Amino acid sequence: MGKLRIGVLASGGGTNLQAIIDACAAGDIAGEVVVVISDMPDARALERARKKNIPAIVIPTKGLKREEHEKLVHEALMKANAELVVLAGYMRIITPWLVGKYEGRMMNIHPAQLPAFGGSGMYGEKVHKAVLDHGCKVSGCTVHFVSTDVDGGPIILQEPVYVLESDTPESLANRIHPVEHRLYTKAIALYAAGKLKIEGRRVRIML
């Protein structure tokens, strides 16, 4: 069995991308990142990819309808023979068309305990602010398969992070980030090892 070919979609700094690249290099994931695609030409994720000689592709959205843009993304993923698509800070909602192309083969990570604080408009600092505004004592992150329901796909892994009385959205995010990196790479490693099985809304981990 060869290495899992991973395609990454990213819009920002790419810290989760870096964690995935490092985990592949260390042998913690039986896979390799074969392409990084961004809708933002200045995304640092592209720089991280180029430093590791990974093809880094910019597909701007200007002048394109969502479906037109996604067809170009799909073409780039197909050209790279990507088997698993990983969203790493990708700031676009995936349409049902592209979700359908990668059903059960597209992952995302969300900086909260889904199904709480998910859905359209809930991303980044907005999530952490909502958690604090609601007086939650626990937050964390969730890795899930992508479905047509935003942040509503089958959950693969979750890990809690306790909220401190002194927390700000920024401080909470800073403590969740390293957990995201660890959890995301673990989920991808399980997928690469063929240990994830989707049964309806449940993901069973076959150990």
> CA separation (Å) from 186 to 27, 79, 116, 142?
12, 26, 22, 12
pTM (2 decimals)?
A: 0.95
Q: Where does the pLDDT of residue 2 fall: very low under 50, low under 70, confident under 90, or very high at 90 and above? A: confident
Q: Where does the pLDDT of residue 207 fall: very low under 50, low under 70, confident under 90, or very high at 90 and above? A: confident
Give SS3 for 190: helix
CB atoms within 10 A of CB 65: 10
The one-letter amino acid at 55: P
To the nearest 10 degrees (0 to 180), the angle between helices 125-133 and 169-192 is 120
Q: Is residue 177 annotated as part of the catalytic site, yes or no?
A: no
pLDDT of residue 41: 95
pLDDT of residue 1: 62
The CATH classification number of 4-205 equals 3.40.50.170
Q: Of the candidates 100, 103, 97, which has an alpha carbon nearest to the alpha carbon of residue 69?
A: 97
Mean pLDDT score, 124-137: 97
Sign of the alpha-carbon dihedral angle for 90, 105, 116, 195: negative
**pLDDT above 80: residue 176:** yes
Residue 184 DSSP one-character state: H
Sign of the alpha-carbon dihedral angle for 31, 32, 35, 41: positive
From the candidates 74, 110, 144, 181, give the one annotated as an active-site residue: 110
Mean pLDDT score, 49-58: 98
